[in-house]
Structure 1
């Protein structure tokens, strides 16, 4: 991967100089360097999109979405799609590109994401894959032909939040989605004869409203009954989203502990326990700063297989940079 722009900003590692004649290197062959790819993983709501943009604005990078519902067009509130403003000018791929009625499989993702990676690398940029669909990520990286591993060197980042804390955040986020208009958004595409096992209708936040919308269409249904059904639908969305987070976490543990993926865990729990300026500082200290150092080590061929423990100087430097940027 061409990292000319990066190398002008980062100190290049010194290389061992071997005097001519001391060692016979005629039998050694240099292996071609693999292209670099960063993967940002985590359960729903943990801040994967935020971290991927933090990294993409630090390096010449582009982001590939690996959320199986965000690949579909429409239902932006339901699927929590990142807005154009939140993208901060970073190019995003596989975001809202598939017809809502189509079925986008892991195989489709592998072929489409592979093309996107080749295109990004061809422009001299770093591909950052971010999303909560670990089955898509696993299908891409551990393909049957070992094509990905032979072509790319990958760095895994895992944004983790303690489940009790995350569950509360998810509950509050659903309430914010209701305020943002999720009911109206789903109502526009409601069809009493639709199949909730296909396309974007598989997303959490769609089928849960079915009973409520059916009651709306029935003139004989009492107002209080409809209100009860709406409350039950919202609560069901919260429960199902928490269940999804637990499943996603279980898959990450399997990839790490069973398949042996070298995944760097970034504990973001304290970020979700704080508010305002304190939360921002905690994000820099616990997530953005450590992730940036891991990626630096990865890009410049330091040993990134070990878990990273941020030093005091690293944390302070990242915090100063973040606070300075916030005042601009």
Structure 2
């Protein structure tokens, strides 16, 4: 009887051997936990399309922050649901805006937590788009006016830095947004505040539950004129390169699961820290399947997050963060 020279199963024989040769290690330090904050009092309201994810008013937020600290997760990403909206998203850059107020509270309760502020206008505009609308009186056509939108995004970023945000995360996909925000932060004295750019953000169907959570569904049209076509990858490299040249400190690919090839290509071409956003529908699909008994939630979540890290992500924004940290501890 002849035997193969190589027996690859030797190193899979026991759990200890498999752990010894594991190539990709997922840890709690990889996670960023998104939180939705809103005005009002005594609000902890579950988002119907995102089981286990809630809107929090500031008076109900501290227990959630305590849970984050206890989990070992070191960073939160704050999204705001404002009390009022208007055409230019005034609440986004209000000194007393909801993200600004929440940032102050989180830094008071848990100064060691890294607070990341989402910097966009869509949740604050009455039309639901990520910038200022320009109406052509001749054609009646409405479009997102890029450069006036940049000025408002700069104001938003500065107000978030003033409130104590550790990282600014612009998600608007306007041309030149990183350069504008970097220049604005520097001029305002916040040259040490890094920018985590949503560099490669696709016009994706996987954002549906998030728009329910952030109350940010566009009131007309869609976002395909500024978010990327899911079919394109070379364009993703141009977007990432532009952000690097404009001064981004971290790059992001959003969504993650259907774009692991994009994650890998960005990782191979740029040496900045790379963030993957495990977006709302990716989360909700697992929750729905698990609720029906179709999948093992723990196993699927940890396998998915490991896949994102294996593809090149240094950090993962995920609504699973608190559960995943518990599972990684063996609980």
Tell me the TM-score range normalised by the shorter chain.
Answer: 0.3 to 0.5
TM-score by length of 2: 0.34
Q: Which structure dedicates a bigger proportion of its chain to strand?
A: 2
Q: Which structure dedicates a bigger proportion of its chain to helix?
A: 1
User: In terms of Rg, which structure is larger?
Assistant: 1
Whose RCO is larger (CA < 8 A, sep 6+)?
Answer: 1
TM-score by length of 1: 0.34
